[in-house]
Amino acid sequence: MLHADFRSLMLFGIVSLVFVQQMQVATANDWPSWRGPYRNGIALDETDLQSEWSEDGPEVKWQIDGLGRGYSSIAISDGRIFTMGKRKAGCELIALDLNGGRELWSTPVKGGNPNCTPTVDGRLVYALGREGHLIAADVATGKIAWQKDFPKDFGGSMMSGWGYSESPLIDGDRLVCTPGAKDAVVVALNKKTGETIWKSAMPDDIGKRGKDGAGYSSIVVSHARDVKQYVQLTGRGVISLDAEDGKQLWSYNRIANGTANISTPLVKGDSVFCSTGYGTGAALLQVKKEGDRVFVEEKYFLDAKKMQNHHGGMIVYADHIYCGHGHNSGFPLCIKFTTGEKVWSGGRGPGGGSAAILLADGHLYFRYEDGTMALIEATPDEYRLKGSFKLKTNNGKSWPHPVIVDGLLYARDQNALLCYDIRK
């Protein structure tokens, strides 16, 4: 019995080590990319946060200005904050000190007002400009290690005119991104050199809905049916690629619209949940496997009246999905993950416009387009609003996703970055 227990512990340790090597590891002061280390919008390690807010809101710990225009959120790693903004000289990748926001360095990235949230991995930080200029820069100095141009190097394009928006995925020794070309819709690059490892073509039979090119989403990793795969929402819908060689595994066209496919898909077990706005809807896909063939079946589809997520993102937590529902609206909504059944709705909610969401310490943080920040308990029991307040600044559409690290809530607002202390 003792030997069996020891073998079980050893096996658990090996499996855990492999998982840690494949994914970026969450630490108490690490939010290395879009929607966190696991790209699910959940701040797993945050505890002892305020569970109620007054109209005055939490204390503003600090504020900095001068970051430029754009909808980039922030990444945090090793005592530094990374973001992007278009200043007078052009678009830049910017590094700030975590303690107070003092600027450390900035590096040019070609393009207009940026949408990308940088991705940090060890000694390099990666950023994508609106026109498809991808750079890898030294985290300490900002010196460019390598760079690519999606249109020139891969023939890439966007499905519509708001520019490249994804945050590149770092997985092991590679960087995975979405140029959106017919023969290179997704590519895997050596993260240290930028050399191409593989290119994956857009499947010919994906369907007619949507438009050719990259969407506005970011790649997530799935291990459905024990097959490691990259899942991405493109201009033509959701695609899944074998992580080893980029081979197409499956695709799903029904979720695509012809304007903008935006929200990052949710992965859970052998399922993938996806949603888009512009009157489209949402769907749960069940990944299947027969022999070497991997495919999906639609488990349910919700029309736009029941659920559509514009660009504020969705969170799956304890077998329920939480999101802002409605095109260009953040109506709080909770549905059952397995069936799509509506559990509760919060009506219009306390704010206006789309709502970018985050989950920490059992609560949802809704950041509305009009600058309202709301605290909602993450429970399927009922809709429980625990308070709301207006952000100190409102420099335009308040779209960047909020971030929580070490009990501090960060909200990028165009030229400004606000830091709120939300510890009890």
Q: Dihedral through CA 79, CA 83, CA 87, CA 89, nearest 10?
A: 80
pLDDT of residue 134: 98
The tokens of 99 are what?
């303690």
pLDDT of residue 91: 98
Answer left, alpha or beta for residue 5, where phi above 0 means left and psi between -120 and 50 means alpha: alpha
d(CA 41, CA 35): 4
Q: Where are the domains of the chain?
A: 44-69+312-398+400-424
CA distances from 320 to 36, 237, 238, 349, 397 (A): 19, 23, 21, 19, 28
Q: What is the mean pLDDT of each run of 10 residues along the chain (424 residues)?
A: 40 41 50 97 97 97 98 97 97 97 98 98 98 98 98 98 98 98 98 98 95 98 98 98 98 98 98 98 98 97 98 97 97 98 97 97 98 98 98 97 98 98 97
Which helix or strand (DSSP H or E) is residue 418 part of? strand 416-421
Considering the four listed CATH numbers 2.40.128.630, 2.60.120.10, 3.40.50.1580, 1.10.3720.10, the one that applies to the domain covering 44-69+312-398+400-424 is 2.40.128.630
The tokens of 154 are what?
């891969």
> Which pTM does this prediction carry?
0.92
Burial of 285 (0-12, 13-18, 19+ CB in 10 A): buried
CA distances from 351 to 35, 157, 308, 388, 398 (A): 21, 34, 18, 9, 11
pLDDT of residue 11: 41
